[in-house]
Amino acid sequence: MPQDTSTSHKSSTNPAAQRRLRRHVKPMPSEGDDGLFTEAWFPVCMSDELKIGEILGKPFLDGRVVIYRDQSGTAHVQSSYCPHLGADLSKGSVAGDNIRCAFHGFEYAPGGHCVKTGIGANPPPAACLFSFTVVERYGLLWAYNGETPKWQLPDFTYPDDELHIIVKEYGVFPADPYVLCCNTPDYHHYRSVHGLDWTHPDPDPLQDFRWTDHGFRFDLDGTHWHGKEMKFTFGIDSVSLYFQQGTLDGKWYGYLAPFGVIGASQTMTYFVVVTHKGDGSPTALEAASTFADESMALEFAFVDQDIPVLDGIHFAQGALTEKDRSLSMYLDLVRRQPRVHPSADFIR
Ligand SMILES: [Fe+2]
């Protein structure tokens, strides 16, 4: 056999070359692709950040919004740029239920339409802000990217008025929120990274996961680190909310990690912990507060274990195993989520 043919043959069967040939990933839509974002509830700020009569300007969906609390205490999220000449309304003021531009005194009602100008002219019919559908719950303001919400924020076992709620801003994570959400259907990393263990077979994504068109829930009963008994329900809603509730050492608490999208690969992350107020007595409230602080510290420590692994990750659906079916099903769910941006013409 001629030498050059042999060399060529060896080259084509080089193991490294074969690995390169086999290497492939199943692509995911990124936030901001084609100017679109996942249709979902996204947190935009903490309730505590916004006093009555105050305005915040925040980045959101590759644009900018104003968040203001009117004189009755109701919060509104609207596009930030005055339709008159584009002034930033976060420099303006709250006038009753309206927001007023600092430049020429144009006033906009909660629905977004201009109700007066400060220069003696009638409001131009086209002068309108984009007004987001908003809900204030769990210590956060949430804006819906979409026209009509297709799902609602989840409930805990206990009604909201029986919950002691604490919220912290964790900061901006440099990836799309589905990457963070994938840690939950990838429950195997609870064992490999966090040291959790469970007393039953691995949850089957077809039998044991409770799927909806926008997310899932599943249960793990076993031991947390330090051997504490855990009975937890875990879940994800769309790409914007991690949900957890259950008992640790017999004590119930709930935990949310809401993910806000401020731009492509820019995820604003919050932590919410809720505990039960008990009988509402001062002693019970003190205990609920202490336990919430302890649980928040635990969940911060939990995430601190994830960060070294996630730092620098080139996340992709690559060579998955049969044990990764819940993860691949979640990734397919993300691919099926509607992607919209009705505020695009207003917030940029
Ligand atoms: Fe994790």
Going from the Cα of 336 to the center of ligand 1, the distance in angstroms, rounded, reads 24
Give the model's confidence band at 25: pLDDT under 50 very low, under 70 low, under 90 confident, else very high.
confident
Tell how far the Cα of 184 is from the centroid of ligand 1, in angstroms: 7
> Are both 90 and 136 inside the same structural domain?
yes
Distance 304 CA to ligand 1 centre (A): 9
Q: What backbone torsions phi and psi does residue 92 show, to the nearest 5 degrees? A: -90, -150
Pair (90, 178) in one structural domain: no
- Expressed in angstroms and rounded, the spacing between residue 216 Cα and the centre of ligand 1 is 17
Hey, what are 138's tokens?
């769990």
Q: Are residues 170 and 82 in the same domain?
A: no
Same-domain status, 211 and 316: yes
Both 214 and 249 in one domain: the answer is yes
Q: What is the reported pLDDT for 16?
A: 62
Report d(CA 127, CA 346) in Å as an integer. Answer: 11
Same domain, 140 and 220: no
Q: Which of 116, 145, 174 is the last residue of a domain?
A: 145
Centre of ligand 1 from the C-alpha of residue 298, in Å: 12
Residue 281 lies in a domain: yes
Q: Which domain holds residue 123?
A: 41-145
Task: Quote the ligand 1 centre to 235 CA distance (angstroms).
Answer: 13
**pLDDT at residue 26 in the model:** 87
pLDDT per position as a tens digit, 210-250:
999 999 999 999 999 889 999 999 999 999 999 999 999 99
- CB under 8 Å to 123, separation ≥6 — which residues? 106, 113, 114, 115, 116, 117
Quick one: pLDDT at residue 18?
A: 59
For residue 10, the model assigns a pLDDT of 46
Using the mean position of ligand 1's atoms as its centre, give its distance from the Cα of residue 306 in Å: 5
Statement to judge: residues 121 and 243 lie in one domain: no
pLDDT tens track for 281-321: 999 999 999 999 999 999 999 999 999 999 889 899 988 99
- Evaluate the CA torsion angle 211, 217, 221, 224 in order and state its sign: positive
- CATH code, 245: 3.90.380.10
- Looking at the domain assignment, is residue 23 inside a domain? no
